[in-house]
Copies of this chain bind each other. A is one copy, B any other.
Amino acid sequence: MIVVIQCTDSVGLVATISSVLATANYNIISMREHVDVEENMFFARIVVDASEDSKNVAQFLTKVLPPNAIVKINPLPEKKVVVLVTKEYHCLSDILVRNHFKTLGAEVQGVIGNHPDLKNISERFNIPFHFVSHENKSKENFEAEVISLVHAYNPDYLVLAKFMRILSPAFITEFMLKIINIHHSFLPAFIGASPYKQAYKRGVKIIGATAHFVTNDLDEGPIITQQIIPVNHSFSLADLVKIGKENETAALAKALHLVFEDRVMVYNNKTVVFD
């Protein structure tokens, strides 16, 4: 069982928490704790040897912790996710394969695409695909259609698996800290459009990918994980894009694994990752 806690820090907090666990006769197998001293915030991820919270420690913890405490006890019902895509298959296929073999750590409920290209691969894995074109309609109307589809699933997370539309603040606010994006650059390098083209022109020797939560500041949300891959002068722009996709797939897979195992906590536009 995983116990995840985030709250204002104070002396004795670990003693308080671990006493509650000891009273319930839960043994702590592994514990990671971090205090952001500047912000006076406490973060902990505790693995205990119980399979479910039969002693109701969640309730006891909430009583003894500060009012701003966020307490999560696992096993949550398995996370549910909706995936948003455009045309590129690499991230979605990786997610669909893991989902199919029950190793994603979450359940893919549906895929929404603003192009129909990935309907076929989704349906090969028996996952519903919803084509919502963004053409000939306002962004507001496009997003309203997507939001309506998403709400029908009521997922824990939205995964932008190379979804190439910029979302409005209204959309993002609707799903705050529930949207995970894979950005095809080593943020904050190459913010904005065509990062591989920018990287090619600059002659970089390493390209990166960044998985992050989406907030209202484009490409500025809390970073979950970053990965890189070395490149050299012999790479054409097409080669950069091609090898970059391998990197994007791996970075998004890593980030989803971390989030679905409740290893990622967010505060003040940064993440604490107990990996």
Interface residues of A, Cβ cutoff 8 Å to B: 9-15, 18-19, 21-22, 25-37, 44, 49, 89, 93-94, 97, 100-101, 103, 121, 124-125, 186-190, 202-206, 208, 222-228, 232-234, 242, 246, 250, 253, 269-273, 275
Contact = CB atoms under 8 A, between A and B. Distances in A.
A95 to B, nearest CB: 11
Contacts of A273: 205, 232-233
B35 A11 contact: no
A188 B187 CA distance: 10
A190 to B, nearest CB: 7
A253 B94 CA distance: 13
A13 B28 contact: yes
- Chain A binding site: helix, strand, loop or mixed by DSSP? mixed
A121 to B, nearest CB: 7
A189 to B, nearest CB: 4
A190 B191 CA distance: 12
B22 A30 contact: no
Contacts of A15: 15, 18-19, 21-22
Given A12-B19, A15-B15, A205-B225, 4 more contacts: A15-B22, A29-B37, A30-B33, A34-B233
Contacts of A242: 103
Contacts of A225: 205
Contacts of A121: 97, 100
A11 B26 contact: yes
Given A18-B15, A28-B13, A89-B101, A269 B203 contact: yes
A94 B98 CA distance: 10
The 7 A-B pairs of least Cβ separation, nearest first, read: A12-B22, A203-B270, A189-B189, A15-B18, A31-B33, A14-B18, A15-B22
A76 B30 CA distance: 26
Contacts of A44: 31
A242 B102 CA distance: 13
A123 to B, nearest CB: 10
A237 to B, nearest CB: 10
A263 to B, nearest CB: 11
